[in-house]
């Protein structure tokens, strides 16, 4: 596992020529209207220490991300699963997707915590792409959909912790027959082990605002209502870490007890056992991203 730093900026000749001079490969995208310079630097790169000082207090965007090694995957017994979004058309109309699909009694629009699905997803149409066996939505990141042949494969291999139900067509309310939602019913007990800077409270000028949003000039609206519940930002420089005890005798698909996300969005993260990881990887299904997690 290594940390990768991504730097990007529009115009800064001094920094650009400095980075060029020390041999950092720059990716430059240029159009009539804008110019974007970006580069990626491995944390273990000897030049990173000096670069860090050089870019301090300059108008340069710095984002950290993780790159996992084969050993990280081999040594992990549980994984975060993300299904790439497809081109599913979201139904239009007055009935918002939240009201149509979720029980909103415990939902807080300020932090996004509390959506509980109690009705099938409504889709405008089945999707065109037939290549993907597991599919996602661009408006509900944690929803997973599955094609019948993949569902059969899961059933044949006794993948546990899921039920399958058809989403429905928005206009006709007819079930979409060649697509299922893979519903995950098991919520883990509490057991996320956060680092100090991951916790975010739903309140005015919260930790996230103080740390990051403040500098972007985004001002939270006064008069919002807040629920004072806590969620966590996704870690950027280490794996999601959980107490291993909470994984005793749980099925292959589970959701975290804790909510994760930034700003207005929150989800309970979908986790899968290595059995699911091994099966999906061996089938070479596309569009599915696994991230190893750490158990302590
Ligand atoms: Zn809230």
Contact 134, 145 (CB under 8 A): yes
What are the structural domain ranges in the chain?
Answer: 2-67
CB 40 within 8 A of CB 6: yes
- Confidence (pLDDT) at 295: 97
Distance CA 135, CA 288 (A): 8
Q: Which CATH architecture has domain 2-67?
A: 2-Layer Sandwich (3.30)
Cβ neighbours around 171 below 10 Å, total: 11
Ligand 1 center to 110 CA (angstroms): 5
Q: How far is the CA of 109 from the centre of ligand 1 (A)?
A: 6
Cα separation, 202 vs 208, whole angstroms: 10
C-alpha 129 – ligand 1 centre gap (Å): 36
CA of 218 to the centre of ligand 1 (A): 18
CB atoms within 10 A of CB 266: 24
Ion ligand 1: protein residues whose beta carbon lies under 5 Å: 108, 110-111, 202, 227
pLDDT score for 209:
84
Task: Say how many Å lie between the CA of residue 104 and the centre of ligand 1.
Answer: 12
Please give the Cα distance from 97 to 100 (Å, whole number).
5
Q: Measured between alpha carbons, how far is 244 from 231 in angstroms, rounded to an integer?
A: 20
pLDDT recorded at residue 234: 94
Span from the CA of 138 to the centroid of ligand 1 (angstroms)? 22
Output the pLDDT for position 149. Answer: 95
Tokens 């429905």 belong to which residue? 168
Task: Report how far ligand 1's centroid is from the alpha carbon of 74 (Å).
Answer: 37
Q: What are phi and psi of 125, to 5 degrees?
A: -160, 165
Q: Which two tokens stand for residue 80?
A: 């975060």
pLDDT at 87: 53
Spatial contact of 272 and 252, defined as CB atoms under 8 Å apart: yes
CA 219–ligand 1 middle distance (angstroms): 17
Query: Residue 95: its pLDDT value, please?
Result: 52
| pLDDT score, position 94 | 43
- For each of the chain's 296 residues, which pLDDT tens digit applies? 999 999 999 989 999 999 999 999 999 998 888 889 999 999 999 999 999 999 988 889 999 999 999 999 999 999 999 997 665 666 665 457 788 899 999 999 899 999 999 999 988 877 666 788 998 887 788 999 999 999 999 999 999 999 999 999 888 999 999 999 999 999 999 999 999 889 999 998 889 888 776 666 666 555 678 999 999 999 989 999 999 999 999 999 999 999 999 988 999 999 999 999 999 999 999 889 999 999 99
């Amino acid at each position: 596992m290594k940390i990768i730093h991504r730097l990007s900026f529009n115009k800064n000749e001094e920094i650009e020529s400095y980075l060029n001079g020390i041999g950092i490969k720059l990716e430059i995208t240029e159009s009539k209207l804008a110019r974007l310079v970006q580069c990626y630097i491995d944390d273990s790169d000897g030049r990173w220490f000096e670069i860090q000082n050089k870019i301090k207090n300059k108008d340069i965007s710095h984002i950290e991300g993780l790159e996992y090694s084969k050993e990280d995957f081999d040594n992990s017994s549980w994984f975060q699963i993300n299904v790439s979004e497809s081109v599913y058309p979201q139904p239009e109309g007055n009935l918002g997707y939240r009201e149509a699909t979720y029980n909103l009694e415990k939902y807080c629009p300020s932090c996004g915590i509390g959506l509980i699905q109690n009705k099938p997803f409504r889709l405008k149409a089945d999707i065109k792409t037939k290549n993907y066996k597991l599919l996602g939505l661009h408006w509900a990141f944690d929803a997973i959909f599955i094609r019948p042949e993949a569902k059969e494969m899961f059933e044949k291999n006794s993948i546990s912790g899921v039920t399958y139900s058809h989403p429905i067509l928005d206009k006709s309310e007819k079930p979409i027959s060649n697509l299922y939602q893979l519903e995950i019913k098991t919520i883990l007990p509490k057991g996320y082990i956060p680092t100090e800077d991951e916790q975010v409270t739903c309140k005015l000028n919260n930790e996230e605002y103080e740390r990051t949003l403040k500098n972007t000039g985004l001002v939270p609206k006064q008069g919002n209502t807040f629920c004072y519940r806590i969620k966590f930002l996704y870690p950027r420089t280490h794996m999601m870490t959980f107490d291993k005890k909470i994984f005793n005798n749980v099925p292959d698909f589970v959701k975290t007890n804790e909510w994760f996300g930034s700003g207005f969005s929150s989800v309970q993260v979908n986790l899968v056992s290595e059995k699911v990881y091994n099966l999906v990887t061996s089938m070479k299904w596309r569009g599915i991203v696994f991230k190893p997690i750490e158990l302590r």
